[in-house]
Every structure is written in structure tokens, then in C-alpha cells.
Structure 1
Amino acid sequence: MAELHRAETNRKTTFPVDLDHTLEKAYQTFGQRSNFRGVDIGYRWRRGQRTEDICLRLHVLRKLPLDALLPSQVLPTHVDGVALDVIEASYQPSLEPGAARRASTRQPYTMGGLPCGRSGEGAGTIGLVVIDKTTGKPGILSNWHVLAGPWARHNDPIMQLAERDDEFDPRNHIANLKRWMLDRSGDAALAELLPDQPWLPLQFGGFESISQVRSASLGEILNKTSRAANNAQARVDGRGLYRLQYKTRQGTLEYRDIEGLNLIYEGDIPVSDGKVSCAGDSGAAWISAASGDAVALQIGGQSASPNGASRTGQGVIACEMGPILNKLELRLASYEDLLAQNGQSAVLTHRQKTCADLSYHSDEALPSPLWPHPRHWADVSLSQPQNLPRPDRTETTTSAAQVVAMVRILPNDHVPVLPHREPASPRSVIGHEIWQNRLCPALLDYDPNFRGVLPEETLTQRISTADERNIYAFFSRLINGSARFDGIGLRHVLASDFRGATTYMQICERIDTLRPRP
């Protein structure tokens, strides 16, 4: 069996199939030990560095010296003639607590790599957009502990998370929970997208759809698709069974042994509070760097060892994608599925048409495609504003109704006014004349859900669009079409007039600068 102990480091190596029996025997032998955290087939590590030897590896919570062990606790050097190595490591689900989540921009389309979760229960990651083979409907794939958890019920709402707070926000509701699994085969769940939720068969940050799922090869490099700050590459270091602790019901933590892959980050990943900084990556998909195939779904990360890492880099535990898709009866979503759902014969909802309209970067004169290519919402540099003649506002036929803002419903039942300021203050004049008498009433005319909006409030707290350029287009159309701005000499305004404004008061200040001066 000498040929099983060598592997080329510059190419992929298939896992030895004839070692599966040895792997299972080792699991039955050592799996009942209190410090057991996994057993797999993978590379041997020496003095923190990976070697070319392939061996059977036992993962333990803590390695002890021989003189601290009872004779029955001493491990053999070989199992069925295969060399046995010991790795000090422990693993836990990498769900991010909601209070620790960084604020981020809400994305108009659902796709792999974006944050998701249950309201108030922490954040994970959308692994892939998939198709439910039992219904033909699109959905999102992530972990059981991200989408379901111990309180899961059929059709529970699933959020595409953006802002730091964890309160339920209807704008974030994108899917309903349908099926889940937490067993030896994996930790995964399916949530079916709402009928009018726009989606793309892509991974966030890329323009290529994933067309194939396959098994991992030992030593191959995978890319993680996630919005977390530590997006990275990792190498497949082993495959076997790994023990993670889950909250399975209220007040109860249980260990579950799950088949999967052990990945090692190629670069240094920081450790904070004893944990690898990959919180929120639960559910992230790992994609082959060479072929672009989907390989695995992350379920956990490595906890910091009290005695220092026995390997360079930190470990990740991920389930192989194929068994998960088979058990949950799913397949990868494609552009063909998108076209079939949103083709000319399909009946699009108002929300779908609105999101498509808002996803195109343009001034009002340019048409918006129905389902644009991702380049239209990619983060590109803004073009310089054009010096266009300004007609009277009444000369434009564009209506504010052509842009629909998704607004947060607040409980306040009054229109707020600015605190009293000196009458001579230019800001107080703008606050009274532009905000209180013009812009705020125009917003309420457009949608009563703007009730309670404050002039210093950030625009994105109320209005959700593809990017900030569409927010400016919203205000230009609102102002040009509202009678509230009649009689102040204001001419036709452009979206570019509001570029860079972040609050309602700044919008008012821009309007004031566009008024003719005596």
C-alpha cells in the first residue's frame, strides 16, 4: 500500500476508494472518545507544514503527551496497515450572530454568496440558487442551521439580510422554508423564492453561472463565494466524518457527525476571541478554481487551538454538494430556467417589472431592459453628468409612478417637522420651504408609507433600489411630476442633480440650489 502514501502536490489526487472501509473502522473504534472531533483521509502534517504523504487522520480536541494517557488511550500507529496521524482541531457551525453583522447594501437580485437567514437568529450565506425538482420552482440552498434551526416550520419566512438590525423587514423577505436535513449526509436546507423575487443563477461578484456539480479531489484549490471580508481560496486537505455541536432544540446542544471535506485556507485567516474569522460563512458554496464546478457547501470553521495550530492556516468543514442536492431533490438553476420564468409568455408581477426597471443605470431618456445583464448593476464608476438643456417641468411626460420605491413601514402617524431654528438661517428656510411644504408632502402623495420620515434620515433606510443612481432617478421623477413644486420657479431636474446626496435634507439643499435667484 505504499503507493497510497504519496501524492503529487502540484496536481489533484483522487481519494483512495479502498480506504473507505479503514475510515469507517477507525470511526467505529475512536468515535466514542470524548475528545473525538473527526476522522478522515488526508495529508500528513509535520511541524505545521503539509507533506506529500496521505494517511488516516484522527482529529481530537487536545493532544496529550504519552505519560498523561492510560494504556487503553494510547493510539495505534496504523489501522489496517494504514498509517494513523493525529491532528488537534475542533469545529463549530460558522453562523454569524446578528449583533455582529456589518451593515451592507441591499442587493436587488438574489444569488449565491449573499447573506441570508431567519429574522433575529443570525446570518449565514446563500450557497446556490437551485431548482426544486419536485415543483420546478427556484429556491436558495444554504445550511440547516442558517435557514431552519431548532424552531423550523414549513413556510417560515427567510430573509436576504443587509442591514445590521435583526427586526423583521418585509423588504428582506425573499423566500419560504420548504425542506431541510441534518444528518450524516449533510447540514442543508431549501427555501423556495417568492414568486415575484428577482434572482440570477450567479455567484455574487462573478458573471458566470455554475453548470455542474462534482466530487472533490484531494489537493485541489476551491474558491469560496461569500460577501464576508475573508473571501479566500482553500485546498482540499481531507475527506471523512467531522463532529460539530448544534443547538437542536431549546436549551439543548448535541454533537452531530457529518460526512464532508476538510479544507485549509491557503492564506492566513485572523483569529478573534478564539474563533476563526469566518462568521457568517455558513452555507457558502466552494467552487473549483480550475473548472468552475460546485464542489461543497460550508457548514463550519475551526476553533482556535489552545496549544497553537498544528497546521498552517485554519480549517473549514464543508459537505459535498452532490449528496445534498440528491437528498433534497434539487438541481442547479440556469439562465434557461430564468428565461422560462420571465419570458415573453410569462406574467410578470409588479415587483418584478419594478426591479428590472430600477436595475439599469441611465437618465430618464434611456429605456430600461426587462431583465438586464449583471453589468448594468455592477459597481462601475459613474459617468460624468451631461450638460443637457432644462425644459419646464410640465414638458416632461415621465411620471414618478414609473419608479416604485420599496419603503419601510413605520408606526409614526405624523409628519415630522424640523426643530425650531432662527428665521434667518438658510437651513431653516430650506427646512420649512422645501422640506415641510414641498418634498415631504410629495413623498406622502406618492406613498403614505413615507409617513414618519425624518429630514436627516438616510435615503436608503426608506428606499431600496439596485444602486444609488436609481434613488436619484426616483427623486428627479417625483419632483418633475409633483404639483407640490409648482410656483417656485423650479425647472426640469435631472437624476445627476442629486448625485452624492445621502439624506432627505441634502435633497432639499440640492433643490434649493436649482431655484432661480433674484
Structure 2
Amino acid sequence: MNKYLSQKAIDYLLSLNNVVGIGYGLKEVKGKLTDQKAIVVMVSRKVTQTELIRRHVVLKSIEGFVTDVIEVGKVSAHRIQEEGPIREAEDNVSRKSSWRPGPGGVSIGHYKITAGTLGVVVYDNFTGKKLILSNNHVLANSTNGKDKRAKKGDPILQPGPLDGGTKRNDKIAKLYRYVPLKDNGFNVVDAAVAKPLRQGLVVPEILGIGTVQGKTLPQLGMLVKKSGRTTGLTSGIVQVIDAIIDVDYDGRILKFKNQIMVTAFDQGGDSGSLVLNEFNWAVGLLFAGSDTFTFVNPIDPVLDLLGVHL
């Protein structure tokens, strides 16, 4: 956000009541996206000006940019919960079953969690070997590295435990590397990799998509897609880039910066899905969402911090 606003302006916007994030994006008018660029101010719930103390009303413009207040609701890490309504995939592919070899887009999880999505096969920068990419909260139980929630070598199950995966029958990999989720300061990625027990247990294809052709930066208005454990193959539009956002991790509120916000195209359990453009170039890693929007880590820091490549 510092490319667009001074730190003083950023701090001011984030200090306002009800504000959970900000970013640079496309302005909405009557619920429809326009081509106008704006500083998007994300609130948990839209309220009238009369409900807010005057100093907490978002200015109509700031440092030369118009502002746009958007209700995002509660933004949570999108691992599947054990209860609640879920929109299921419509492609008749059994993504919650056991897959050997395992492609991207199917159920996976650390043995202590419910289930998320196997994003894609990546390659270790040091050994060249195949690794499984997904979120920290899918493969490493949301660990900060010091809380003993997970450790290197922990069993990774496919399908994930909620979908019937057991340590005895469904172990596909071991936790290999993760980026700790910081409780203080800003996170940039929610990402981890697991090492398959055997290289032949996974394949680089993603269900319904095929192989990844490379990587690219997000652009406002870009059409993106993902293949996920819960909702299958879906698409959305990049509405905001360089976002700062608060994300709920089972009661832990973690701050993220430099994120991508997409019109909602996921549900719980789709976390870890690789997000690609229409030409199969990787854009980012899906990690969180609300009823109306999906949040994605940009692909470059995901790969760089884990020491892997596509």
C-alpha cells in the first residue's frame, strides 16, 4: 500500500472503527465493478454515517484517490470446519476420495486438522524433488513455529482427516517446510510444503485445469480460477491488490499485507488451492475468505519463502 498512500494515511484508515483492511482496487457502484481505481476500505459491516462517531467516517478521497467502502464480513482462514452449510463442487469429481497419484485440487491435511486442498506439485530449489504446496493452516496446523502445533516430519493425509483420511491408511507425505504464522506484525503468506513419501505419489496436474504454464502478477480485473477440494473448478475477478487484511484463525486475528482480493469463488476446505489466470499462469495461493470475497497470497513470496519453484 505504500506505493499508493503515505504511512500516515494507511495508519489513519486502519485506525477507523469497523475497518478490517484496505487495498488498491476497482470501485463498486451499486454492487457492480467499474474501471475506476480507488482506495478500497474494507469493513466487517457497513453502517450509516449517523451510527459512527464523525472521526470514524471514511473520507470520500485521500491523497488524490477516491475511496470506496466495501463490506467484506468476517474473513477467516478457509480450512473446512466440521459444521455449517457448504456449497459443493458441481463437476461430479470425487475430490474427497483417496487419489494415488495425487493431483492438485483434492483433499489433503495435517493429521490434526479437518481438510484443505492440495494446491500443486512444486520442486525443491535445492534437490529438484517434488513437494506438495498448500497453506500452513492446511499442512502445518496454523503453527507459528514455537507453539508445538506442528513439526517437521508430521504425517500429511490424503484425503484429509474430515474426509476419512487416517494415519494408518492415507499418509501421502511428511511436513517438510512452512512459513510461520506470526501473531505480531504482518504476515505475507500462509504457506507450507510437504515431502511425498515417494515421488510417484503425486503428479503436477491440477484437476480440471491441467499443468501450470508459469507465474504472473495479478492485475485488477483479471479473471482467475482455482480447483479446490470443496467447490471444485470456479472463477472470480481480481478486485483489489496490495491489500492489508485481518484474518481470523480460530480466534487468532492475524494481519496480512500485499494480498490479492478476488470476488468470492471458494468455500471452507478450498484453502491451499493454486489460483491461476485463464492461460494457466499461477497468480497466487488461496488462503482465506468471507461470504463475499476470497483472499490470495501472491505467488512470488510463496515460492521464495519456501525455497521452491513451479
Q: Which amino acid aligns with 1:261?
A: I
Q: Which amino acid aligns with 2:306?
A: L
Mapped to 1, the partners of 2:201 and 2:163 lie a distance apart of 23
Distance 1:107 1:24, change over 3 A: farther
Mapped to 1, the partners of 2:43 and 2:102 lie a distance apart of 39
List gaps (5 residues or longer) in structure 2: 89-93, 144-148
Give how far 1:175 is off: 1.1
Mapped to 1, the partners of 2:56 and 2:27 lie a distance apart of 21
Answer yes or no: is the 8 Å Cα contact 2:43–2:72 preserved in 1: yes
Aligned pairs (5 A) from 1:289-308: 289=278, 291-303=279-291
**TM-score (normalised: structure 1):** 0.52
Instruction: Show the counterpart of 1:43.
Output: 26
Residue 72 (structure 1) aligned to one of 35, 55, 58? 55
Residue 78 (structure 2) aligned to one of 94, 97, 108? 94
Give how far 1:30 is off: 2.2
Distance 1:62 1:179, change over 3 A: same
**TM-score (normalised: structure 2):** 0.85
SS at match of 2:214: coil
SS at match of 2:218: coil
Q: Which amino acid aligns with 2:130?
A: P
- Larger RCO, structure (CA 8 Å, separation 6 or more): 2
Number of residue equivalences: 289
SS at match of 1:30: helix
Answer yes or no: is the 8 Å Cα contact 2:228–2:270 preserved in 1: yes
Instruction: Show the counterpart of 2:134.
Output: 142
Aligned pairs (5 A) from 1:16-415: 20-22=3-5, 24-90=7-73, 91-97=75-81, 104-148=96-140, 149-150=142-143, 151-161=149-159, 166=164, 168-181=166-179, 182=181, 183-195=186-198, 197-206=200-209, 208-229=210-231, 231-239=233-241, 240-247=243-250, 253-265=252-264, 278-289=267-278, 291-303=279-291, 314-332=292-310
Give how far 1:329 is off: 1.0
Mapped to 1, the partners of 2:232 and 2:202 lie a distance apart of 25
SS at match of 1:171: coil
Which is worse superposed, 252-261 or 318-327? 252-261
Q: Provide Cα deviations, 1:409-455, integer angstroms capped at 9, x if missing partner.
A: xxxxxxxxxxxxxxxxxxxxxxxxxxxxxxxxxxxxxxxxxxxxxxx
List gaps (5 residues or longer) in structure 1: 1-16, 270-276, 304-313, 333-518
Which structure: greater strand fraction? 2
Give how far 1:198 is off: 2.1
Q: Provide Cα deviations, 1:277-300, integer angstroms capped at 9, x if missing partner.
A: 6110001111111x2101111111
Mapped to 2, the partners of 1:264 and 1:214 lie a distance apart of 19
Q: Which amino acid aligns with 2:108?
A: C
Give how far 1:119 is off: 1.9
Q: Which amino acid aligns with 1:259?
A: N
Give how far 1:135 is off: 2.9
Larger radius of gyration: 1
